[in-house]
Structure 1
Protein backbone atom coordinates (compact mmCIF):
# COMPACT_ATOMS: atom_id res chain seq x y z
CA UNK A 1 0.00 0.00 0.00
CA UNK A 2 1.35 3.40 -0.97
CA UNK A 3 1.83 6.16 1.57
CA UNK A 4 -0.87 8.32 -0.07
CA UNK A 5 -3.42 5.49 0.13
CA UNK A 6 -2.54 4.92 3.77
CA UNK A 7 -3.12 8.62 4.53
CA UNK A 8 -6.47 8.56 2.72
CA UNK A 9 -7.59 5.48 4.67
CA UNK A 10 -6.55 7.00 7.98
CA UNK A 11 -8.36 10.23 7.11
CA UNK A 12 -11.49 8.29 6.15
CA UNK A 13 -11.28 6.25 9.36
CA UNK A 14 -10.99 9.42 11.48
CA UNK A 15 -14.00 10.92 9.68
CA UNK A 16 -16.05 7.81 10.49
CA UNK A 17 -15.10 8.02 14.17
CA UNK A 18 -15.91 11.74 14.28
CA UNK A 19 -19.30 11.21 12.62
CA UNK A 20 -20.06 8.29 14.94
CA UNK A 21 -19.34 10.41 18.03
CA UNK A 22 -21.47 13.29 16.76
CA UNK A 23 -24.28 10.90 15.94
CA UNK A 24 -24.06 9.37 19.41
CA UNK A 25 -24.25 12.78 21.12
CA UNK A 26 -27.32 13.70 19.05
CA UNK A 27 -28.96 10.36 19.88
CA UNK A 28 -28.32 10.77 23.60
CA UNK A 29 -29.56 14.35 23.45
CA UNK A 30 -32.84 13.23 21.86
CA UNK A 31 -33.34 10.47 24.45
CA UNK A 32 -32.64 12.99 27.21
CA UNK A 33 -35.17 15.48 25.83
CA UNK A 34 -37.75 12.70 25.49
CA UNK A 35 -37.18 11.66 29.12
CA UNK A 36 -37.96 15.25 30.16
CA UNK A 37 -41.27 15.11 28.33
CA UNK A 38 -40.26 15.97 24.79
CA UNK A 39 -39.34 19.15 22.94
CA UNK A 40 -42.94 20.32 22.60
CA UNK A 41 -43.58 19.85 26.32
CA UNK A 42 -40.40 21.71 27.30
CA UNK A 43 -41.39 24.62 25.06
CA UNK A 44 -44.44 25.19 27.29
CA UNK A 45 -42.32 25.52 30.45
CA UNK A 46 -42.10 29.30 30.83
CA UNK A 47 -41.06 29.83 34.44
CA UNK A 48 -40.71 28.24 37.87
CA UNK A 49 -40.57 29.32 41.50
CA UNK A 50 -38.96 26.90 43.90
CA UNK A 51 -38.19 26.74 47.60
CA UNK A 52 -35.53 24.41 48.97
CA UNK A 53 -33.64 23.50 52.11
CA UNK A 54 -29.87 23.68 51.67
CA UNK A 55 -27.68 21.84 54.16
CA UNK A 56 -24.07 23.03 54.50
CA UNK A 57 -21.72 22.04 57.32
CA UNK A 58 -24.62 21.01 59.54
CA UNK A 59 -26.60 24.20 58.94
CA UNK A 60 -29.94 24.18 57.09
CA UNK A 61 -30.55 27.31 55.04
CA UNK A 62 -33.82 28.14 53.24
CA UNK A 63 -33.40 29.10 49.60
CA UNK A 64 -35.67 30.52 46.92
CA UNK A 65 -35.25 30.39 43.16
CA UNK A 66 -37.12 32.15 40.38
CA UNK A 67 -36.39 31.25 36.76
CA UNK A 68 -37.98 32.89 33.73
CA UNK A 69 -36.64 30.63 31.01
CA UNK A 70 -34.65 32.22 28.17
CA UNK A 71 -34.66 35.50 30.13
CA UNK A 72 -33.47 35.71 33.74
CA UNK A 73 -33.19 34.05 37.15
CA UNK A 74 -32.90 35.13 40.78
CA UNK A 75 -31.74 33.12 43.78
CA UNK A 76 -31.99 34.05 47.46
CA UNK A 77 -30.33 32.14 50.30
CA UNK A 78 -30.96 32.96 53.95
CA UNK A 79 -27.95 32.36 56.20
CA UNK A 80 -28.77 33.04 59.84
CA UNK A 81 -30.87 36.06 58.94
CA UNK A 82 -28.48 37.36 56.27
CA UNK A 83 -29.83 37.19 52.69
CA UNK A 84 -27.55 36.47 49.76
CA UNK A 85 -29.23 37.47 46.49
CA UNK A 86 -28.02 36.69 42.98
CA UNK A 87 -29.53 37.84 39.68
CA UNK A 88 -28.51 36.67 36.21
CA UNK A 89 -29.81 37.82 32.85
CA UNK A 90 -28.58 36.78 29.42
CA UNK A 91 -25.65 39.20 29.37
CA UNK A 92 -25.23 40.48 32.91
CA UNK A 93 -25.56 39.55 36.54
CA UNK A 94 -24.92 40.71 40.08
CA UNK A 95 -24.82 39.44 43.64
CA UNK A 96 -25.43 40.98 47.06
CA UNK A 97 -23.54 39.10 49.75
CA UNK A 98 -23.50 40.70 53.22
CA UNK A 99 -21.44 37.73 54.41
CA UNK A 100 -18.60 39.26 52.38
CA UNK A 101 -19.04 42.64 54.06
CA UNK A 102 -21.10 44.39 51.37
CA UNK A 103 -24.78 45.26 51.09
CA UNK A 104 -24.34 46.73 47.60
CA UNK A 105 -24.83 44.75 44.40
CA UNK A 106 -21.54 43.57 42.92
CA UNK A 107 -21.29 42.59 39.23
CA UNK A 108 -20.70 38.93 38.55
CA UNK A 109 -17.62 38.03 36.50
CA UNK A 110 -18.23 36.73 32.99
CA UNK A 111 -17.27 33.15 33.89
CA UNK A 112 -19.81 33.12 36.73
CA UNK A 113 -22.57 34.36 34.43
CA UNK A 114 -21.76 31.63 31.90
CA UNK A 115 -22.07 29.07 34.69
CA UNK A 116 -25.68 30.10 35.30
CA UNK A 117 -26.84 30.30 31.68
CA UNK A 118 -27.69 26.60 31.48
CA UNK A 119 -30.33 27.23 34.15
CA UNK A 120 -32.11 29.60 31.77
CA UNK A 121 -32.94 26.73 29.41
CA UNK A 122 -35.88 24.50 30.43
CA UNK A 123 -33.93 21.42 29.36
CA UNK A 124 -30.52 22.52 30.59
CA UNK A 125 -27.32 22.83 28.57
CA UNK A 126 -27.55 19.45 26.83
CA UNK A 127 -30.93 20.16 25.23
CA UNK A 128 -29.60 23.26 23.43
CA UNK A 129 -25.80 22.91 23.45
CA UNK A 130 -25.50 23.91 19.79
CA UNK A 131 -27.41 27.14 20.42
CA UNK A 132 -24.94 28.01 23.19
CA UNK A 133 -21.97 27.35 20.91
CA UNK A 134 -20.68 24.31 22.80
CA UNK A 135 -18.60 21.61 21.15
CA UNK A 136 -19.94 18.25 22.35
CA UNK A 137 -18.10 14.94 22.40
CA UNK A 138 -19.17 11.49 23.53
CA UNK A 139 -16.57 10.00 25.87
CA UNK A 140 -17.97 6.54 26.52
CA UNK A 141 -19.69 5.26 29.63
CA UNK A 142 -18.92 5.48 33.34
CA UNK A 143 -20.66 4.24 36.47
CA UNK A 144 -22.51 6.80 38.57
CA UNK A 145 -23.83 5.37 41.83
CA UNK A 146 -23.49 1.83 40.44
CA UNK A 147 -25.49 2.66 37.29
CA UNK A 148 -24.00 3.08 33.81
CA UNK A 149 -24.13 6.58 32.39
CA UNK A 150 -23.22 8.15 29.07
CA UNK A 151 -20.41 10.68 29.45
CA UNK A 152 -20.63 13.82 27.31
CA UNK A 153 -18.19 16.72 27.37
CA UNK A 154 -19.38 20.22 26.51
CA UNK A 155 -16.58 22.72 25.88
CA UNK A 156 -16.50 26.39 24.98
CA UNK A 157 -13.64 28.85 25.39
CA UNK A 158 -12.06 28.16 28.80
CA UNK A 159 -15.12 26.45 30.31
CA UNK A 160 -15.84 22.73 30.30
CA UNK A 161 -18.77 20.68 31.59
CA UNK A 162 -19.01 16.91 31.79
CA UNK A 163 -22.55 15.52 31.81
CA UNK A 164 -23.51 11.99 32.83
CA UNK A 165 -26.80 10.70 31.42
CA UNK A 166 -28.20 7.52 32.96
CA UNK A 167 -28.36 4.72 30.38
CA UNK A 168 -31.71 3.40 31.67
CA UNK A 169 -33.63 6.57 32.52
CA UNK A 170 -31.86 8.94 30.08
CA UNK A 171 -31.89 11.60 32.82
CA UNK A 172 -28.97 13.69 34.08
CA UNK A 173 -27.40 12.06 37.15
CA UNK A 174 -24.12 13.95 37.49
CA UNK A 175 -22.28 16.98 36.17
CA UNK A 176 -18.73 18.24 36.57
CA UNK A 177 -18.16 21.90 35.77
CA UNK A 178 -14.65 23.24 35.31
CA UNK A 179 -13.92 26.95 35.25
CA UNK A 180 -12.17 29.83 36.95
CA UNK A 181 -13.01 31.68 40.17
CA UNK A 182 -10.81 34.48 41.37
CA UNK A 183 -8.08 33.43 38.97
CA UNK A 184 -8.05 29.85 40.24
CA UNK A 185 -9.24 26.70 38.50
CA UNK A 186 -12.37 25.30 40.15
CA UNK A 187 -14.14 21.98 39.62
CA UNK A 188 -17.70 21.62 40.92
CA UNK A 189 -19.46 18.25 40.98
CA UNK A 190 -23.25 17.96 41.23
CA UNK A 191 -25.32 14.80 41.72
CA UNK A 192 -28.99 14.84 40.63
CA UNK A 193 -31.53 12.43 42.11
CA UNK A 194 -35.12 11.89 43.30
CA UNK A 195 -36.67 12.82 39.96
CA UNK A 196 -40.41 13.50 40.11
CA UNK A 197 -43.04 14.41 37.55
CA UNK A 198 -45.11 17.45 38.47
CA UNK A 199 -48.92 17.48 38.08
CA UNK A 200 -48.34 19.55 34.94
CA UNK A 201 -46.16 16.79 33.47
CA UNK A 202 -42.69 18.31 33.88
CA UNK A 203 -39.75 16.30 35.25
CA UNK A 204 -37.43 17.75 37.91
CA UNK A 205 -34.72 16.39 40.23
CA UNK A 206 -35.84 17.16 43.78
CA UNK A 207 -32.47 16.39 45.35
CA UNK A 208 -29.04 17.83 44.49
CA UNK A 209 -25.68 17.20 46.14
CA UNK A 210 -23.05 19.76 45.20
CA UNK A 211 -19.36 19.43 45.97
CA UNK A 212 -17.64 22.81 45.80
CA UNK A 213 -13.96 22.92 46.85
CA UNK A 214 -14.44 26.47 48.14
CA UNK A 215 -17.44 25.62 50.34
CA UNK A 216 -17.64 21.86 50.76
CA UNK A 217 -20.67 19.63 50.29
CA UNK A 218 -24.08 21.22 49.82
CA UNK A 219 -27.28 19.16 49.90
CA UNK A 220 -30.36 20.81 48.43
CA UNK A 221 -33.90 19.41 48.66
CA UNK A 222 -36.87 21.05 46.94
CA UNK A 223 -39.77 21.64 49.32
CA UNK A 224 -42.04 23.66 47.03
CA UNK A 225 -42.35 24.05 43.27
CA UNK A 226 -44.69 26.38 41.38
CA UNK A 227 -44.80 26.16 37.59
CA UNK A 228 -45.88 28.72 35.00
CA UNK A 229 -47.31 31.17 37.51
CA UNK A 230 -46.98 34.93 36.80
CA UNK A 231 -43.51 36.34 37.51
CA UNK A 232 -42.61 40.05 37.40
CA UNK A 233 -39.13 40.44 35.88
CA UNK A 234 -38.82 43.90 37.44
CA UNK A 235 -39.17 42.32 40.89
CA UNK A 236 -36.41 39.83 40.13
CA UNK A 237 -34.09 42.65 39.07
CA UNK A 238 -34.55 44.64 42.29
CA UNK A 239 -31.26 44.99 44.13
CA UNK A 240 -32.50 44.28 47.63
Structure 2
Protein backbone atom coordinates (compact mmCIF):
# COMPACT_ATOMS: atom_id res chain seq x y z
CA UNK A 1 0.00 0.00 0.00
CA UNK A 2 2.87 2.40 0.81
CA UNK A 3 4.36 1.90 -2.66
CA UNK A 4 0.90 2.41 -4.16
CA UNK A 5 0.48 5.76 -2.36
CA UNK A 6 3.92 6.99 -3.41
CA UNK A 7 3.32 6.09 -7.06
CA UNK A 8 -0.10 7.77 -7.10
CA UNK A 9 1.50 10.89 -5.75
CA UNK A 10 4.18 10.84 -8.37
CA UNK A 11 1.53 10.53 -10.75
CA UNK A 12 5.80 6.83 -16.31
CA UNK A 13 10.22 -2.31 -26.80
CA UNK A 14 12.78 -3.59 -28.79
CA UNK A 15 15.86 -2.07 -30.39
CA UNK A 16 16.45 -1.95 -34.11
CA UNK A 17 19.50 -1.35 -36.24
CA UNK A 18 18.34 1.94 -37.74
CA UNK A 19 21.07 4.45 -38.56
CA UNK A 20 20.58 7.81 -36.82
CA UNK A 21 19.66 10.65 -39.12
CA UNK A 22 21.64 13.84 -39.26
CA UNK A 23 19.06 15.52 -37.07
CA UNK A 24 20.43 17.14 -33.94
CA UNK A 25 18.80 17.30 -30.52
CA UNK A 26 17.95 20.97 -31.09
CA UNK A 27 16.24 20.19 -34.40
CA UNK A 28 14.23 17.40 -32.78
CA UNK A 29 13.24 19.65 -29.86
CA UNK A 30 12.16 22.38 -32.27
CA UNK A 31 9.86 19.97 -34.14
CA UNK A 32 8.61 18.58 -30.83
CA UNK A 33 7.68 22.07 -29.62
CA UNK A 34 5.85 22.78 -32.87
CA UNK A 35 3.94 19.49 -32.54
CA UNK A 36 2.91 20.43 -28.99
CA UNK A 37 1.39 23.73 -30.13
CA UNK A 38 4.30 26.17 -30.32
CA UNK A 39 6.38 28.22 -27.89
CA UNK A 40 4.18 31.32 -28.02
CA UNK A 41 1.02 29.50 -26.93
CA UNK A 42 2.77 27.56 -24.16
CA UNK A 43 4.35 30.76 -22.81
CA UNK A 44 0.86 32.12 -22.13
CA UNK A 45 -0.14 29.19 -19.90
CA UNK A 46 -0.07 30.40 -16.29
CA UNK A 47 -2.40 27.87 -14.65
CA UNK A 48 -4.04 24.53 -15.44
CA UNK A 49 -6.75 22.39 -13.82
CA UNK A 50 -6.80 18.76 -14.96
CA UNK A 51 -9.25 16.03 -13.98
CA UNK A 52 -8.23 12.40 -14.45
CA UNK A 53 -9.52 8.89 -13.81
CA UNK A 54 -7.27 6.01 -12.72
CA UNK A 55 -8.40 2.50 -13.61
CA UNK A 56 -6.66 -0.23 -11.63
CA UNK A 57 -7.85 -3.80 -11.11
CA UNK A 58 -11.35 -2.75 -12.11
CA UNK A 59 -11.41 0.09 -9.56
CA UNK A 60 -11.80 3.73 -10.62
CA UNK A 61 -9.97 6.52 -8.77
CA UNK A 62 -10.77 10.18 -9.43
CA UNK A 63 -8.04 12.81 -9.34
CA UNK A 64 -7.90 16.60 -9.72
CA UNK A 65 -4.69 18.56 -10.28
CA UNK A 66 -4.41 22.35 -9.90
CA UNK A 67 -1.18 23.91 -11.19
CA UNK A 68 0.29 27.39 -10.92
CA UNK A 69 2.92 26.93 -13.60
CA UNK A 70 6.42 26.96 -12.17
CA UNK A 71 5.18 27.87 -8.69
CA UNK A 72 2.83 25.36 -7.06
CA UNK A 73 0.94 22.11 -7.55
CA UNK A 74 -2.01 20.53 -5.72
CA UNK A 75 -3.57 17.12 -6.35
CA UNK A 76 -6.67 15.58 -4.78
CA UNK A 77 -7.19 11.83 -5.14
CA UNK A 78 -10.36 9.96 -4.13
CA UNK A 79 -9.76 6.32 -3.12
CA UNK A 80 -12.59 4.18 -1.72
CA UNK A 81 -14.33 7.20 -0.22
CA UNK A 82 -11.10 8.62 1.19
CA UNK A 83 -9.32 11.74 -0.08
CA UNK A 84 -5.56 12.22 -0.30
CA UNK A 85 -4.25 15.76 -0.84
CA UNK A 86 -0.71 16.52 -2.01
CA UNK A 87 0.75 20.04 -2.37
CA UNK A 88 4.17 21.20 -3.54
CA UNK A 89 5.11 24.88 -3.53
CA UNK A 90 8.70 25.82 -4.25
CA UNK A 91 11.02 23.54 -2.27
CA UNK A 92 8.40 22.57 0.30
CA UNK A 93 5.45 20.22 0.30
CA UNK A 94 2.69 18.86 2.52
CA UNK A 95 0.05 16.18 2.22
CA UNK A 96 -3.02 14.75 3.91
CA UNK A 97 -3.29 10.96 3.94
CA UNK A 98 -6.17 9.00 5.50
CA UNK A 99 -5.31 6.20 7.92
CA UNK A 100 -5.91 3.53 5.26
CA UNK A 101 -2.96 5.09 3.38
CA UNK A 102 -0.64 5.23 6.36
CA UNK A 103 -1.45 8.81 7.36
CA UNK A 104 -3.10 10.58 10.26
CA UNK A 105 -5.82 12.41 8.37
CA UNK A 106 -4.10 15.71 9.25
CA UNK A 107 -1.81 17.88 7.13
CA UNK A 108 1.80 16.67 7.41
CA UNK A 109 5.08 17.83 5.91
CA UNK A 110 5.90 15.77 2.85
CA UNK A 111 9.17 13.76 2.88
CA UNK A 112 11.90 15.57 0.97
CA UNK A 113 12.21 12.66 -1.48
CA UNK A 114 8.53 13.04 -2.34
CA UNK A 115 8.89 16.78 -2.82
CA UNK A 116 11.74 16.09 -5.24
CA UNK A 117 9.73 13.47 -7.17
CA UNK A 118 6.59 15.63 -7.28
CA UNK A 119 8.14 19.02 -8.01
CA UNK A 120 8.15 18.50 -11.78
CA UNK A 121 4.35 18.53 -11.61
CA UNK A 122 4.55 22.32 -11.26
CA UNK A 123 5.42 22.31 -14.97
CA UNK A 124 3.08 21.67 -17.87
CA UNK A 125 3.66 20.67 -21.46
CA UNK A 126 6.65 18.47 -22.18
CA UNK A 127 9.24 16.51 -20.19
CA UNK A 128 11.85 17.40 -22.81
CA UNK A 129 11.12 21.10 -22.92
CA UNK A 130 10.97 21.34 -19.13
CA UNK A 131 14.33 19.58 -18.94
CA UNK A 132 15.84 22.02 -21.41
CA UNK A 133 14.55 25.04 -19.48
CA UNK A 134 15.99 23.60 -16.25
CA UNK A 135 19.40 23.28 -17.86
CA UNK A 136 19.45 19.48 -17.92
CA UNK A 137 21.64 17.70 -20.45
CA UNK A 138 19.70 16.11 -23.32
CA UNK A 139 21.41 13.55 -25.57
CA UNK A 140 20.09 11.76 -28.64
CA UNK A 141 21.29 8.21 -28.01
CA UNK A 142 19.53 6.07 -30.61
CA UNK A 143 16.68 5.49 -33.01
CA UNK A 144 14.59 2.40 -32.30
CA UNK A 145 11.22 0.71 -32.76
CA UNK A 146 8.53 1.11 -30.11
CA UNK A 147 5.36 -0.91 -30.67
CA UNK A 148 6.22 -1.00 -34.37
CA UNK A 149 6.83 2.75 -34.72
CA UNK A 150 10.14 4.58 -35.22
CA UNK A 151 11.19 6.59 -32.18
CA UNK A 152 14.07 8.85 -31.21
CA UNK A 153 15.56 7.87 -27.84
CA UNK A 154 16.69 10.91 -25.83
CA UNK A 155 18.40 10.72 -22.46
CA UNK A 156 17.82 13.47 -19.90
CA UNK A 157 20.51 13.97 -17.26
CA UNK A 158 19.49 16.45 -14.57
CA UNK A 159 21.91 18.63 -12.64
CA UNK A 160 21.49 16.40 -9.57
CA UNK A 161 22.51 13.34 -11.60
CA UNK A 162 19.05 11.79 -12.04
CA UNK A 163 18.62 10.19 -15.47
CA UNK A 164 15.47 9.60 -17.51
CA UNK A 165 14.84 8.31 -21.04
CA UNK A 166 12.28 9.79 -23.43
CA UNK A 167 10.96 7.95 -26.51
CA UNK A 168 9.80 10.47 -29.12
CA UNK A 169 7.79 9.54 -32.21
CA UNK A 170 9.89 10.05 -35.34
CA UNK A 171 6.73 10.89 -37.31
CA UNK A 172 4.62 13.05 -34.96
CA UNK A 173 7.43 14.26 -32.65
CA UNK A 174 5.18 13.61 -29.63
CA UNK A 175 6.42 11.74 -26.55
CA UNK A 176 5.29 8.10 -26.47
CA UNK A 177 7.16 6.82 -23.42
CA UNK A 178 9.26 7.95 -20.46
CA UNK A 179 11.39 5.64 -18.29
CA UNK A 180 13.39 6.45 -15.16
CA UNK A 181 14.52 5.10 -11.81
CA UNK A 182 13.00 7.05 -8.93
CA UNK A 183 13.26 6.86 -5.14
CA UNK A 184 9.84 5.96 -3.74
CA UNK A 185 9.51 5.27 -0.05
CA UNK A 186 13.22 4.65 0.30
CA UNK A 187 13.33 2.17 -2.57
CA UNK A 188 14.78 2.66 -6.05
CA UNK A 189 11.92 1.85 -8.42
CA UNK A 190 12.02 1.50 -12.21
CA UNK A 191 9.17 3.63 -13.54
CA UNK A 192 7.79 3.55 -17.07
CA UNK A 193 4.99 5.73 -18.45
CA UNK A 194 3.39 5.37 -21.88
CA UNK A 195 1.51 8.32 -23.39
CA UNK A 196 -1.17 8.29 -26.09
CA UNK A 197 -4.45 9.82 -27.27
CA UNK A 198 -3.06 13.32 -27.75
CA UNK A 199 -5.76 16.00 -28.04
CA UNK A 200 -5.71 19.76 -28.54
CA UNK A 201 -6.93 22.10 -25.81
CA UNK A 202 -6.90 25.75 -26.90
CA UNK A 203 -4.35 24.80 -29.56
CA UNK A 204 -2.03 22.97 -27.13
CA UNK A 205 -1.56 19.21 -27.26
CA UNK A 206 -1.85 16.97 -24.19
CA UNK A 207 -1.73 13.16 -23.88
CA UNK A 208 -5.19 12.21 -22.62
CA UNK A 209 -4.17 8.61 -21.86
CA UNK A 210 -1.26 7.27 -19.83
CA UNK A 211 -0.36 3.71 -18.90
CA UNK A 212 2.04 2.53 -16.20
CA UNK A 213 2.76 -0.63 -14.23
CA UNK A 214 0.23 -1.59 -11.58
CA UNK A 215 1.80 -0.50 -8.25
CA UNK A 216 -0.07 -3.33 -6.53
CA UNK A 217 1.67 -5.88 -8.78
CA UNK A 218 0.62 -7.52 -12.05
CA UNK A 219 -0.86 -5.81 -15.10
CA UNK A 220 -1.05 -2.08 -15.75
CA UNK A 221 -2.76 1.03 -14.44
CA UNK A 222 -4.59 3.23 -16.94
CA UNK A 223 -4.87 6.99 -16.36
CA UNK A 224 -7.32 8.89 -18.57
CA UNK A 225 -7.78 12.66 -18.59
CA UNK A 226 -11.44 13.68 -18.52
CA UNK A 227 -10.98 17.47 -18.75
CA UNK A 228 -8.32 20.19 -18.94
CA UNK A 229 -8.90 23.90 -18.29
CA UNK A 230 -6.27 26.44 -19.36
CA UNK A 231 -5.64 29.57 -17.27
CA UNK A 232 -8.42 29.21 -14.69
CA UNK A 233 -8.34 31.49 -11.63
CA UNK A 234 -6.80 29.61 -8.69
CA UNK A 235 -7.08 30.77 -5.08
CA UNK A 236 -3.72 30.98 -3.29
CA UNK A 237 -5.35 29.46 -0.19
CA UNK A 238 -5.57 25.98 -1.76
CA UNK A 239 -1.77 25.68 -1.57
CA UNK A 240 -1.49 26.74 2.09
CA UNK A 241 -0.93 24.01 4.67
CA UNK A 242 -3.93 23.81 7.04
CA UNK A 243 -3.30 24.49 10.71
CA UNK A 244 -3.73 21.41 12.88
CA UNK A 245 -6.99 21.56 14.83
**TM-score band w.r.t. shorter chain:** 0.7 to 0.9
Check if 1:227 corresponds to 2:230. yes
Once the 2 structures are TM-superposed, how far is the Cα of residue 214 of structure 1 from its aligned partner?
6.0
1:164 equivalent among 167, 170, 179: 167
Q: Is the 8 A contact 1:188 1:213 kept in 2?
A: no
How far has the Cα of 1:89 moved from its partner? Answer: 1.7
The partner residue of 1:181 within 172, 181, 184 is 184
Counterpart in 2 of 1:118?
A: 120
If you compute each CA radius of gyration, which structure gives the higher value, 1 or 2?
1
Q: Does 1:210 align with 2:212?
A: yes
Asked if 1:59 corresponds to 2:62, the answer is no
Measure how far apart 1:121 and its partner are. Answer: 2.4
Instruction: Measure how far apart 1:147 and its partner are.
Output: 1.1
Structure 1 unaligned regions, length at least 5: 1-19
The 5 A counterparts of 1:185-196 are 185-196=188-199
* Native 8 Å contact 2:56 2:214 kept in 1: no
What are the within-5 Å matches in structure 2 for residues 34-73 of structure 1?
Answer: 34-73=34-73
1:92 aligns with 2:82: no
The one-character-per-residue Cα deviations of 1:58-85 (angstroms, maximum 9, x if unpaired) are 2101111111111111111101110011
Contact 2:49 2:64 in 1 (8 A): yes
Which of the pair is proportionally richer in helix? 1
The 1:49/1:90 distance shift into structure 2, 3 A limit, reads same
Note if contact 2:151-2:168 (Cα within 8 Å) is conserved in structure 1.
yes
State the secondary structure of the residue aligned to 1:31. Answer: helix
Higher relative contact order (CA 8 A, sep 6+): 2
Q: Relative to structure 1, is the Cα distance of residues 181 and 56 closer, same or farther in structure 2, using a 3 angstrom cutoff?
A: same
Q: Residues 73-125 of structure 1, C-alpha deviation per residue, up to 9 Å, x if partnerless?
A: 11111011100111112211122211214212333333332333333223333
Q: 2:132 & 2:85 partners in 1: Cα distance?
A: 30
SS of the residue corresponding to residue 225 of structure 1 reads strand
Say if 1:193 and 1:207, in contact at 8 Å, map to a contact too: yes
2:237 aligns to what SS in structure 1? helix
TM-score by length of 1: 0.83
Distance 1:229 1:32, change over 3 A: same
| Residues paired across the two proteins, number | 219
CA RMSD after TM alignment: 2.3
Who is 1:135 aligned against?
137
**DSSP-derived class of the 1:128 partner:** helix
TM-score, L = length of structure 2 = 0.81
